[in-house]
Amino acid sequence: MQPLYPVLRPQRFAYLLTLSMLGVLAPLAQAALPTLESPSRGTGTGIMQTLQNYGYDIVMLIALLVVASMFVGVCYHAYTRYAEIHIGRSTWGQFGLTVAVGAVLLVVGIWLLTEAIGVL
């Protein structure tokens, strides 16, 4: 049996309905673009100083990512050492030493990155 309207198959009808809904809803969904935020040091007196201030913010973000990755690395190493205690490969003293050395490395790393940022 042939459909009454062969042009409007269910797939084509759904496609046309979707297009018409997009045509109706698209103008309602428009929003203004967000404004560009000023760098943390301010905009400066010229374009070069503004770009330098944005560069400072980018370097600060990279330093934050470095410290975060150091923290994740220390936590992962401490966790694997803790897991080795239950297998019998390590002792609680080695675990404590791992945590202490990791904490010192984090403090030294944060201090070095703070000093390096001060150069900028």
Confidence of residue 81 (pLDDT cuts 50, 70, 90): very high
Q: What is the pLDDT of residues 99-110, one digit of tens each?
A: 999 999 999 999
User: What's the confidence (pLDDT) of residue 5?
Assistant: 56
User: What's the confidence (pLDDT) of residue 19?
Assistant: 75
Q: What is the pLDDT of residues 15-57, one digit of tens each?
A: 777 877 777 766 666 667 788 888 888 888 888 998 888 888 9
The distance in angstroms from the start CA to the end CA of the chain is 79
Residue 97 has pLDDT above 80, yes or no: yes
pTM for this predicted structure:
0.63
Length of the chain: 120
Confidence of residue 93 (pLDDT cuts 50, 70, 90): very high
User: What's the confidence (pLDDT) of residue 85?
Assistant: 93
Q: b/e per residue, 56-87, with b = 16+ CB within 10 A?
A: eeeeeeebeeeeeebeeebeeebeebeeeeee
User: What's the confidence (pLDDT) of residue 41?
Assistant: 83
The encoded tokens of residue 115 equal 């000093």
In this structure, are residues 60 and 117 in contact, taking their beta carbons and an 8 Å threshold?
A: yes
Query: Percentage of the chain with pLDDT > 90?
Result: 42
